[in-house]
Amino acid sequence: MTDRSSPAVAGPSPESPDVVDATPGPLYQTLVGVAAIAVGGVMAAGAAAIPSDAGYAGIGPNALPWFVAVVLIVCGAWLVWEARTGGFRQVEPPSGAPKADWLSAAWVAGAVVANAALITTIGFVFACTLCFALAVRGLRRAEGKGHGGPRQILIDVVTGLLIAAPVFWLFNKLLALNLPALTAGGWL
């Protein structure tokens, strides 16, 4: 028989003040599910306001919003059920730093703001390339990797171009949807 007063494994115990259980409780887990149901309800209200005239292949413009609304409501109900019947099972404790890295978040937010501010001035391709390069810098900084120097910045810019240009050409040339272009010919 084992003595329960002495710990079997060395290290901090859950009662120790050094260990903080950051797993969200059932109340917060329930609120996540309720929020998903609420967003699904708002999406359903918006979908109801869209005309349902059948378009190409018999699917109207409100089909996707209705699908998303139903999926959100079903997932939200499932989350509420999970939270009310014992909480999220086998959820891992959250990883990451104990405090927010506001400078990294500022890089990512700045990337989105720069994209929105410059897309009509420098065109979709270059605005999205800049957005990608700035956001990746912020995410890399959040991981503690630093900015990587000039070589990494060049790699980020080239990668951003390789992603943004084909998306732009797909929408502008193939789908005939006009994204903001830098040149009159619509290739950049």
Tell me the pLDDT tens digit for each residue of 54-100.
666 667 777 888 999 999 999 999 999 988 888 777 777 766 667 77
How far is Cα 61 from Cα 180, in angstroms, rounded to an integer? 24
Check residue 13 and give left, alpha or beta (phi > 0: left; psi -120 to 50: alpha). Answer: beta
pLDDT attached to residue 4:
44
How far is Cα 181 from Cα 21, in angstroms, rounded to an integer? 51
pLDDT attached to residue 62:
79
Tell me the pLDDT tens digit for each residue of 1-44.
444 444 444 444 445 444 444 555 778 889 999 999 999 999 99
22 versus 158: the higher-pLDDT residue is: 158
Indicate the residue type of 137.
R
Whether 62 contacts 12, CB under 8 Å: no
pLDDT attached to residue 164:
92
Length, in residues, of the chain: 188
Q: How large a percentage of the chain has pLDDT more than 70?
A: 78
**Is the whole-model pTM more than 0.85?**
no
Whether 172 contacts 112, CB under 8 Å: no
pLDDT attached to residue 88:
74
